[in-house]
Structure 1
Amino acid sequence: MPDPLPMPGHSGGARDAMTCLYRCGNACAHPIPNTSDNPYFGDIVNAAMSRRGVIRAGALVLGLGGATVPATAATASPAAPSTGAGELTFKPIPPNTLDTFIVPNGYDSAVVIRWGDPIIPGAPAFDPDRQTAQRQVRQFGFNNDFLGVVPLSRDRALLVANHEYTNEELMFPGFTTLEAMTVGQIEVAMAAHGMSVVELERVAGTGQWRQAKSGRLKYNRRFTMLATPFRLDGPVAGTPLVRTAADPRGVSVTGTLNNCAGGVTPWGTVLSGEENFNQYFVGGDAVPAADKARLSRYGITTTTRYPSPSRRWERAQERFDLAKHPHEANRFGWIVEVDPLSPDEPPRKHTAMGRFKHEGANVIVAKDGRVAAYMGDDERFEYLYKFVSDKKYRPGDRRHNLTLLESGTLYVARLTGDSPAAEIDGTGKLPSDGAFDGTGTWIKLVAGDRSFVPGMTAVEVLTFARLAGDAVKATKMDRPEDVQPSLRTGRIYAALTNNTNRGVGTNAGPDEANPRRENRHGQILEIVEAGGDHTGESFTWSLPIVCGDPADPNTYFAGYDKTAVSPISCPDNVAFDSAGNLWIATDGNALDSNDGLFATPIEGPARGHLRQFLTVPPGAETCGPFITSDDRSVFVAVQHPGEITGATMDKPASTWPDGDYAKPAVVVTWRLDGGPIGS
C-alpha cells in the first residue's frame, strides 16, 4: 500500500490527496476565502492490538443515550450527577497503521451497518455491478459522518447518520474520471449523499447493537439530493436570495448537501451541518457581478465555469449551474433539523442560525430556559458562532420545542489573549504565565429581523454570515470544527483541527488561541461563559490541549506529565461520557498513524491525561463518536476507509470491513464485562 501523500488539501495535516479532492474540492489548493483584514492576536494583545474496535461520544438520557442535553433536565450544572464510574481505566493502545480496528483488551466491536445495506423494507441487497439511484435511495448511504442515537425503548433506538460525500473511485468498478461518469452514476452519487434513519435493536441485553430485523421499521428513512424536500424557516425563508425558478416562493429546497457533524437536541431531534457545498456548483463565472464576491467568500469558483475538480452534477439536475440558477447555492450551508420520531414530517433548514460551512451544532439549555447552540465554520481562518433562541425550552412540550431554532440571536466570537505579543512566537511555547488563555466577546450579528452589522440587512447577515463576521472583526481560527458544551460543567469545547497556512506569506500569523505557525496538529479550545450564562456576551478561554507528539516540547496537555500521554494529531470531533470525560476523534493524523479516538478527564488531578482508545483503518477518518447515556456502548462512524491516492474499488488500499473492498460503516464497541466504556 503506498504511503499517504503530503497533505496539499483539506486538513493541512497528513490527509491524503483523494480526501482533499472529494471532501472539499481541494479547498487548500485554492485561495483562502477569508481575505478580510481582521486583526489577529499579535495586533490586539494587551489592548495491545488484539481486538478490532470503534467509537465516539455524545450522551443522551431516556435510558439509552444520544441527546446533547437530557430530555427531562436539560440544563448544565457543575453539580450534575455522574452515572458512570468516571475514572478512565483502559490501557491506551499504541499508534499503528493496520487495516483493522484496534481497541483495548477487554472490549469488542461489531459493524452495525455499512454502505449499501438495505434499510427501507423491500430494498434490494447491495450489488456493486448493479447500482442505480432507485436502489441507493433505499440503502444506507456513503461516507457516514455524524451519528446520533435517539432511544425508542431500553432495547430499541434510532440511528441517524450523515452521508457527507462520495468517492467515486471507491464506489464504481472500472471507474476512470469524474468527467466520464454517466448521468446514472451521478444520480447514484447524489442518492448516496444526505442522511439515513435506521432502527436498531440491542443484542441480548449487552452493549452491542444491530440493525433491527423485526417490526414495522416505520421510522427508517433516507434523505437524498435527488428528491427529498426540505423546508426553509426563519428570516431568510421566502426572500429573494433563496428564490429559484423551481421554487419561486423560496421555501422548499431539494436535498441536503455535504453534511458533516451535528448534534442531538434535548427534545430528541437531530441537527446536521451542511459544510462544503461549494464544490458541487458550476457556472459561477456567469452570475451577476453583484453575486460574485458573495459566492467567492464561500469558496465557489467565479473566474471559470468549472471548479477543479467538478462533479458535473448539472448534467443530472440543471439547478447546479449557477449561470442559470444563481441563487441555488444560497439554499445550502444551513443547519438542518430532522425529527426521526416523525417519519412523515419534512426536515427543516433553520436560516436563523446562519449560513456558513457548518461542521455541526450542539445545543444546551441556558439558566433562563432559552437554548444556546454552538457552531464552528470548518475552513482555514474562519469563525466560531453561537445562536441563542428567542423562546424558552419547555420540558415535555415537544411541539413547542420544535420551534426553538426558528428565531433568535446569532453571535460570532472575538478572542483576546492576555500575554505579551512577544511571548507568542509561533512555536507553541507557553507564555510566561504558563497558559494560552484570555478573554472573549460574543459579537451580536443579528437578532430576529434586526441587523447589527452596518451596511447589511438581517437577511444578508444570515445568508452571508462569513461576510458579517469579517465586518465585525471576528477572530480567525485554525479550522473550528465540532463545538460542544459539557453538561457536567457547562464549559464549551471546540476542536481546532489544524491550519498549515497560519503565518505563511500574508496570512494571519500566530496568536494566543492559534499559537503555532504552520499548525499541522491542531488544538482544543475551552470556553467558560461569564457567570455560567450561555446567553451572555463575554467569556474566558484557554487551550487545555495543544496537540502533537508529547515528546515535542511545544505540545501541552493541561500540565499533565507528558510521558504518560498518547500522541494525538488533528482533533475533529469532541463529545462526553456521562462522567464528563472528554472524547476526541481525529481526522488527518500527521504523526504517521491511523486516525483514532482518545479520551481525557477535564477535571481533577488527571486533567490532560489523554490516552488513545482505538484506531480506524488506513485512509479512514474517525467520525460520529456517540456514547449512550448508560456508557455501555460507543458508536463510531468509519468514514472513507482506504481513501488513498491510487486506490479504486478494483484495487483497494483497504479491504475493511468485509475483506473485499473498502466500505464506510458504523461500528459499535462495548466492554465485554458489561461495564461502562473507558471507566
Structure 2
Amino acid sequence: MQLFLDNDDFPSNPSQQTAFNELLATQLSRRTVLKTGVVGSTMAFFGLNCAAQAVAQTTDTKSLATMSFKGVEASTGDKIIVPEGYSYQVISRWGDPLFANSPKWKGDATEDSAAQALQVGDNHDGMTFFPIDGKADEGLLVRNHEYINPAYIFPKGVEVAGEGWNADWVKKSQRAQGVSVVHIRLDNGKKWQSVLDSRYNRSINAHDTEMVIVGPAAGEDLMKTHADPTGTVVYGTFGNCGNGFTPWNTYLTCEENVTDYFGTTKEGVKADMHMQRYGVSSKASDGDYRWELFDKRFDVVEEPNEWNRHGWIVEIDPFDPQSKPKKLTALGHFKHENAAFAVSNDGHVVIYMGDDQRSEYIYKFVSKNKYDANNQAANRDLLNEGTLYVAQFLDGATKGDLKGEGKWIALTLDTVGVDGKKLAEHFKTQGELLVKTRQAADLVGATPMDRPEWVAVHPQTKEVYVTLTNNSDRGSDKERKGMGGVKHPGVDDANPRVKNPYGQIVRWNEQDTDAAALSFTWDVYLLVGNPSIHPEGNLMAGTANMTSKNLFNSPDGLAFDKDGRIWIQTDGNFSNTGAYEGMGNNQMLVAVPQTGSTEGEIRRFMVGPSGCEITGITFTPDQKFVFVNIQHPGEYGKHPRAPKEVNPQDQPLAFSQWPMGDNEDTENSGGRPRAATVVIWRDDGGIVGA
C-alpha cells in the first residue's frame, strides 16, 4: 500500500455502477483466453505489447517517432538527472521576482502577502509555453501554482490556525496559489531569463483576481453569494492542477481540490447531500489552510454557495493582461485534473477531462458551435456553450474483441437515467445539473475509475490516453462499506491485487476517429508495476516494456509531443523500498505507443530531487526545449527517509535543499526547498526525446 494518504484516496461516490477495475478484470481474463487458449494465466496478457496490438489498426506508419537517448537510472538523490548529451537549467522558482519592482526572495519565509503578490507562486503544476510571434526563443510561460506547504511558506513560529496565525498569512497563502504569466526569453542562445519589465507578467491568484462566470450555471441560485447576488462574478482561482490550451491562444487552468479550502467555525453543522458528494467539510477546513478563520467566503455557513463557484475550468487570455478570466461552467463542476483539446471531424471543439478522486469519472465536452481556424477571434466563446458527456466503459464481450467498448452519455435534462427518469426530474435547470455534475453522472450510470488524472490525445492516431494513478484499496468488505456500496472486485486470477499501488494507463479510440463520437473502444496501454517485487504476486512477469530499467508507479502527468512520443510523469511513492524498490524518486519517462522501431519501449528520461512530484510539461514550437515543473521538493510526511524527529519549520532543509546546489543554483539563500521550472535541451541542438 502507499505509505501516505491524501484526500483523493477517500471516495465520496455512492454509485452502484460497475467499477472500471471489474471491467478490467473481465478484459484481462478474456484476453488471456483469446491469446493463449489458457484460462487463468496472467502471464499472457502482461506479456502482450499493446503497442503492437490495437494501435496498429490506426497508426500511420509512414512517419514513426523515434527515441535515441539512453534511459537514465533510478535515483534517490537531491538533484535532477537527465540523459547523456542533455543539459538543463532551473528557472522561475517560487519566490523569484515576477516584476521589475518585486522584492528579492529572503529564504526565511518572512515575506508578507504584499511581497508574495509580486513573486512567483508556489508548487508549480500544469504549464504551457505560448510563443510570441511564433518564436521558439521567446514566449509566455503560463503556469499553475496548485497549493502551498505550510512548513515552508510560513516562517518559524507561525502555525496554521495556531500561534501567529492572522489574516495576512491567509492572504499570503492565497496569493501563492493560482496562475502566473511570465515572459521569458532565451538570451544569446544560452540561458533562459524572465523579462521582468514585460507588460504580460501577471499574478492570477486566489485573492486578487476578479473573474466572470459564463455558461449555463451563470446566475444560478447555487452560484449566488452575499457579495455577488448575480452569481456571475467571483474572485480567485486555487487548487490549480493540470491545464490545457486552445489554438486561439488561451490557457485553461483546472481547479481540482478546491473542497479542501472550505469549512466553518460554527459547531453542529451537518453537511447536506451535495456537500457530501463533493467531500466539503462541515467542520474545520483542511489543516494546511484554515482560510475560513479570516476570510468568511470560505466559511460554508457564512457563504454556503461560495464553494460551488470553484471547481471549474478557467479560461485565461495570457496576451491581454486586462482581460478577466472566465469560469467555464459548461465543462462541469468537479475536481478537474487537466483539459485535453481536440477537434471533431465536423469542426466542433472537444475537451477531455478527468475527475481526480477515487471512483470518479471521465468526461468530455463538445462545443455547440464550430471552430474557425481562419478567424481566431470568433472562437473566443466556443467553450461557453455545448454538451457535457460522461464515459461508461463496457466489456465488449458480445463481439469477442480484445478491446472493450464504451459510450458517452450526455448530461442534459432530456437524458434518461438508470432509474428510468429524465434528469429533468432531478434538476430544475441545466445550470443546476452542471453545479451538481457528479450527481448527474451517478444517475446515468457512469463508470467509476481509479483516480483519473491527465488525458492526452495522440497527434496522429487521435487515440485518447488517460492516467489512472492508483487505488489504495479495493475488494475488501470494509472498502465496500466505505464506498457507500460501490462494487469492487476481490482477488481474482486476472487481477490478483487487492490494492492497486501502481496505477495504469488506459486508452480509447473514438468511433470513426471522431472526437465527438458517442461510442468508443478501449484497452489498457500499460498496467504499471514491478516485475520482480509485489506484495501479492508477480503480476508483471513477462512484460516486454516494463523492466528493471524503467520501473515507476502512479502515472500522473501525460502529454504527447508533435511527433507522437508520449511523456509520462509520476507522482507516487518514492520510498524505493518494498513494492517500490528500484523506482527511486519521481520521474518522467518517454515511449512511442505504436508499432515500429521502438516497439513500445519505455525509457526513463528524467529523475527529480527528493520528495518532489514531476509535473507540467510544455515544448517550444521547434521541440528543442522542454519545460517541466518540480513540485513540492522535500515535502515531509510522504517519505520514510524524512527525519521524523525534525520539525520542518525548524530545519526546512533537513530532507531536501533543492534547487540549491543543483546545476550551479546558488540563490536559495540556505532557506528552504523551492518549487521551480526546469528547462531541458539536447547539447547538439536537436529535438528533445528524439
Task: State whether structure 2 residue 1 is matched by structure 1 residue 9.
Answer: no
Contact 1:337 1:349 in 2 (8 A): yes
Q: Decide whether the 8 Å contact of 1:235 with 1:448 is kept in 2.
A: no
Q: CA deviation at 1:87?
A: 0.9
Letter in 1 for 2:656: S
Distance 1:631 1:177 in 2: 44
What's the CA shift string for 1:149-208, capped at 9, x where partnerless?
1010322100001010000101223145312223222211111011100001023236x5
Change beyond 3 A, Cα 1:398–1:561: closer
Cα deviations across residues 440-461 of structure 1 (Å, max 9, x unaligned)? 0111112899985652231222
C-alpha distance in 1 between matches for 2:632 and 2:414: 39
- The answer for the alignment partner of 2:510 in structure 1 is 529
Is 2:365 aligned against 1:387? yes
In structure 1, how many angstroms separate the alpha carbons of the residues matched to 2:85 and 2:26?
A: 51
Structure-1 residue corresponding to 2:573: 589
Give me the whole-angstrom Cα distance separating, in 1, the residues matched to 2:341 and 2:62: 19
Match of 1:234 in 2: 215
Match of 2:279 among 278, 299, 302: 299
Residue 254 of structure 2 is aligned to residue 273 of structure 1: yes
Check whether the contact 1:152–1:158 (CA below 8 A) recurs between aligned residues.
Answer: yes
Distance change in 2, residues 1:201/1:537 (3 Å) = same
**Residues 1:490 and 2:490 are matched in the alignment:** no
Superposed, 1:83-122 pairs within 5 Å as: 86-122=65-101
1:519-564 CA-partner distances (Å, limit 9, x unpaired): 100000111000011111100001110011244642389x635447
Q: Which runs of 5+ in 1 are unaligned?
A: 11-25, 48-76, 421-431
For 2:128, which of 141, 144, 148 is the aligned residue?
148
Q: How does 1:346-357 map to 2 (within 5 A)?
A: 346-357=324-335
Tell me the equivalent position of 2:298.
320
* Distance in 2, Cα, partners of 1:221 & 1:540: 43
Cα distance in 2 between the residues matched to 1:342 and 1:569:
40
Q: What per-residue deviation string (whole Å, max 9, x for no partner) do you get for residues 602-627 of structure 1?
A: 11143431110011111100010213
Shift in CA distance, 41/476, structure 1 to aligned 2, threshold 3 Å: closer
Correspondence 1:627-666 to 2 at 5 A:
627-645=619-637, 646=646, 648-651=648-651, 652=653, 653-659=655-661, 660=670, 661-666=672-677
Correspondence for 1:569: 553
* Cross-structure match for 1:619: 611
Q: Aligned pair in 2 of structure 1 residues 641, 129: CA closer, same or farther (>3 Å)?
A: closer
Q: Which residue is equivalent to 1:398?
A: 376
Question: Which of the numbers 540, 544, 557 marks the counterpart of 1:555?
Answer: 540
CA distance in 2, matches of 1:471, 1:284: 33
Do structure 1's residue 167 and structure 2's residue 141 form an aligned pair?
A: no
Q: State the alpha-carbon separation in 1 of the partners of residues 276 and 85 from structure 2.
A: 51
Query: What are the Cα deviations for residues 109-135 of structure 1, in whole angstroms up to 9, with x where unaligned?
Result: 101210011112311111235411111
Partner of 2:592: 601
Listed one character per residue, the Cα deviations across residues 61-105 of structure 1 (whole Å, up to 9, x for unaligned) are xxxxxxxxxxxxxxxx966996xx821111111111100000111
1:209 to 169, 185, 192: 192
RMSD between aligned residues? 2.8
Query: CA 1:287 to 1:670, structure 2 compared with 1: closer, same or farther past 3 Å?
Result: farther
Residue range with higher mean Cα deviation, 564-573 or 105-114: 564-573
Q: 1:454 to 1:608 in 2, by over 3 A?
A: farther
Residue 444 of structure 1 is matched in structure 2 by: 410
CA contact (8 A) 2:264 2:292 kept: no
Partner of 2:640: none
Deviation string 1:504-532 (CA, Å, 9 cap, x unpaired) is: 33153249999853110000011100001
Q: Distance in 1 between matches of 2:21 and 2:244?
A: 34
- Relative to 1, partners in 2 of residues 1:316 and 1:307: Cα closer, same or farther, differing over 3 Å? closer
* Distance in 2 (alpha carbons) for counterparts of 1:347 and 1:448: 31
1:604 counterpart letter in structure 2: T
How far is 1:212 from its partner?
Answer: 2.4
Separation in 1, partners of 2:172, 2:397:
53
Asked whether the equivalents of residues 168 and 175 of structure 1 are also in contact (C-alpha less than 8 Å), the reply is no
Output the CA distance in 2 between the equivalents of 1:122 and 1:561: 51
Contact kept in structure 1, 2:262 and 2:280, CA below 8 Å: yes
1:458 aligns with 2:416: no
Between the aligned partners of 2:184 and 2:330, the Cα distance in structure 1 is: 33
The whole-number CA distance in structure 2 between the counterparts of 1:130 and 1:468 is 46
Tell me how far apart the structure 2 counterparts of residues 6 and 563 of structure 1 sit (CA, whole Å): 21
8 Å contact from structure 1 (residues 119, 221) kept in 2: yes
Residues 241-280 of structure 1 aligned to structure 2 (within 5 Å): 241-280=222-261
User: Map of 1:406-421 to 2, 5 A cutoff?
Assistant: 406-418=384-396
Matching of residue 138 in structure 1 with residue 138 in structure 2:
no
Counterpart residue identity of residue 558, structure 2:
V
Distance 1:631 1:564, change over 3 A: farther
| TM-superposed deviation, 1:32 | 2.2
Matches within 5 A, 1:495-506: 495-505=467-477, 506=480
**One-letter code aligned to 1:497:** T
The DSSP-based 3-state class of the residue aligned with 1:114 is coil
Using the alignment, how far apart are the partners of 1:441 and 1:285 within structure 2? 44
Q: How far apart are the structure 1 equivalents of 2:552 and 2:544?
A: 15
> Residue 286 of structure 1 contacts residue 323 of structure 1 at CA under 8 Å; is this kept in 2?
no
Q: 1:37 to 1:149 in 2, by over 3 A?
A: same
Report SS of the residue matched to 1:189. helix
Contact 1:117–1:140 (8 Å) recurs in 2: yes
Question: Mind listing any 5+ residue stretches in structure 2 that lack a counterpart?
Answer: 28-57, 417-421, 575-579, 638-645, 662-669
Matched-pair contact (CA < 8 Å) for 2:243–2:251: yes
Counterpart of 1:124 in structure 2: which amino acid? P
Which stretch of the first structure deviates more once superposed, 257-266 or 509-518?
Answer: 509-518
In the alignment, is the contact (CA less than 8 A) between 1:577 and 1:629 conserved in 2?
no
Would you say 1:364 and 2:336 are equivalent positions?
Answer: no
1:599 deviation in Å? 0.5
Could you state the TM-score of these two structures normalised by the residue count of structure 2?
A: 0.83
The one-letter code matched in structure 1 to 2:539 is N
The answer as to whether partners of 1:287 and 1:326 remain within 8 angstroms in 2 is: no
Work out the CA distance in 1 between the residues paired with 2:438 and 2:541.
31
Residues 1:578 and 1:308: Cα distance change in structure 2 (over 3 Å)? closer
CA contact (8 A) 1:232 1:253 kept: yes
Distance 1:561 1:639 in 2: 28
2:272 aligns to what SS in structure 1? helix
Change in CA separation of 1:42 and 1:258 when aligned onto 2, cut-off 3 Å: closer
The answer on whether the counterparts of 1:568 and 1:589 sit within 8 Å (CA) in structure 2 is: no
Q: Is the 8 A contact 1:510 1:516 kept in 2?
A: no
Q: Which moved more, 1:400-409 or 1:599-608?
A: 599-608
Q: Percent identity?
A: 37
**Segment of structure 1 superposing worse, 369-378 or 152-161:** 152-161
Q: Letter of the aligned partner of 1:7 in structure 2?
A: L
For 1:236 and 1:374, how far apart are their aligned partners in 2?
20
Partner in structure 2 of residue 343 of structure 1: 321
In structure 2, what is the equivalent of residue 670 of structure 1? 681
